[in-house]
């Protein structure tokens, strides 16, 4: 798909990887609908897109709330008149070990709150936005593409029982959607980033970050632009479907 004037929704588009994706797609001439929780972040991203000559609009929406997501996509179609793509990027972590063993006593460590919050945003949010985007694109008769942001953690990671389950889930959902939606001209794919230098990762202790970088064949964290350019590649290349792109500096080889 030629991205010029195409309307793409990016969830979590206010900052981090979502902002980098917005700027990359803006530079390709796309029109952007950015959904997030924080108006100030949205306004900053919209301003940066405007400097690149792109029309971008912000929408306050919690991706885990069905009514918010329905309103988001109704508003986007009403504002832009069409829809061609979605990047399911909004995501959170609430890390913690699964169980703890202290002084011979075993106890549950990851709480139901930690579990439910991450499920709600990462998994339910992706499900709701994907479902709504697909309905709109089919109603509108536009062919389009959905990109789910997974993670290198999808194959399992210490302290991330909740997060890893969601990131394996969003990758599998993209495969399912590729199989179900191809007949309507809608493609789906996913990206599994390694450690990328956004707030989510930079909030870790510096010693931990150094150790992580040392274990990556590329010997550094990834840059948000390196994920954003992969989103562009998937959206632009009509022969990509269902696959997961691992952009991790070789972490998993």
- Enzyme catalytic residues: 163
- Looking at the Cβ atoms of 24 and 41, the one nearer to ligand NAD is 41
Binding flag, residue 226, ligand NAD (CB under 6 A): no
CA 151/CA 156 separation, integer angstroms: 10
Which residue's CB is nearer to ligand NAD, number 134 or number 149?
149
CB nearer to ligand NAD: pick between 95 and 236: 95
User: Are 145 and 85 a contacting pair, CB within 8 Å?
Assistant: yes
Q: Which stretch in 61-69, 103-111, 182-190, 211-219 sits in contact with ligand NAD by CB under 6 A?
A: 61-69
Answer yes or no whether residue 16 interacts with ligand NAD by CB under 6 A: yes
Q: Which residues pair with 35 in a beta bridge?
A: 11, 59
Nearer to ligand NAD, 11 or 142 (CB): 11
Phi, psi of 141 (to 5 degrees): 75, 25
Q: Does 244 bind ligand NAD (CB under 6 A)?
A: no
Among 6, 8, 15, 136, binds ligand NAD (CB under 6 A): 15
By CB under 6 A, the residues from 31 to 50 that bind ligand NAD are 35-38, 41
Site for ligand NAD in 97-136 (CB under 6 A): 121, 125
Per-residue CA distances from 108 to 99, 112, 157 (Å)? 4, 10, 18
Instruction: Establish if 161 lies at the interface with ligand NAD (CB under 6 A).
Output: no
- Residue 198 found at the interface with ligand NAD (CB under 6 A): yes
Separation CA 30–CA 4 (nearest Å): 5
Of 69, 85, 83, 77, the C-alpha closest to 25 is 85
Buried b (16+ CB within 10 A) or exposed e, 40-65: ebbeebbeebeeeebbbbbbebbbbe
Place of tokens 């108006």: 39
For residue 35, give the nearest of 26, 22, 47, 25 by alpha carbon. Answer: 22
Interface residue with ligand NAD, options 177, 195, 234, 241 (CB under 6 A): 195
Residue from 1, 12, 137, 235 that binds ligand NAD (CB under 6 A)?
Answer: 12
What residue ranges bind ligand NAD (CB under 6 A)? 11-12, 14-18, 35-38, 41, 62-64, 89-92, 121, 125, 149, 151, 193, 195-196, 198-201
């Amino acid at each position: 798909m030629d991205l010029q004037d195409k309307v793409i929704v990016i969830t979590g588009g206010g900052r981090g990887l979502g902002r980098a994706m917005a700027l990359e797609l803006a530079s390709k001439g796309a029109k952007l609908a950015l959904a997030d929780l924080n108006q100030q972040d949205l306004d900053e991203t919209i301003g940066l897109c405007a400097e690149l000559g792109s029309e971008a609009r912000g929408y306050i929406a919690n991706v885990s709330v069905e009514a918010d997501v329905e309103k988001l996509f109704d508003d986007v179609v009403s504002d832009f008149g069409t829809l061609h793509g979605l990047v399911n990027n909004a995501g959170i972590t609430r890390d913690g070990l699964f169980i703890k063993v202290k002084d011979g006593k075993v106890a549950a460590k990851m709480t139901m709150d930690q579990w439910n919050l991450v499920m709600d945003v990462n998994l339910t949010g992706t499900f709701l936005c994907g479902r709504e985007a697909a309905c709109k694109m089919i109603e509108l008769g536009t062919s389009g593409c959905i990109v789910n942001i997974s993670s290198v953690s999808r194959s399992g990671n210490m302290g991330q029982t909740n997060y890893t389950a969601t990131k394996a889930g969003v990758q599998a959902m993209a495969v399912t959607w590729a199989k179900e939606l191809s007949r309507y001209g809608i493609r789906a794919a996913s990206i599994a980033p390694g450690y990328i230098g956004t707030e989510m990762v930079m909030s870790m202790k510096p010693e931990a970050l150094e150790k992580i970088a040392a274990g990556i064949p590329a010997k550094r964290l990834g840059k948000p632009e390196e994920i954003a350019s992969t989103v562009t590649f998937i959206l632009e290349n009509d022969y990509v479907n269902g696959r997961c792109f691992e952009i991790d500096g070789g972490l998993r080889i």
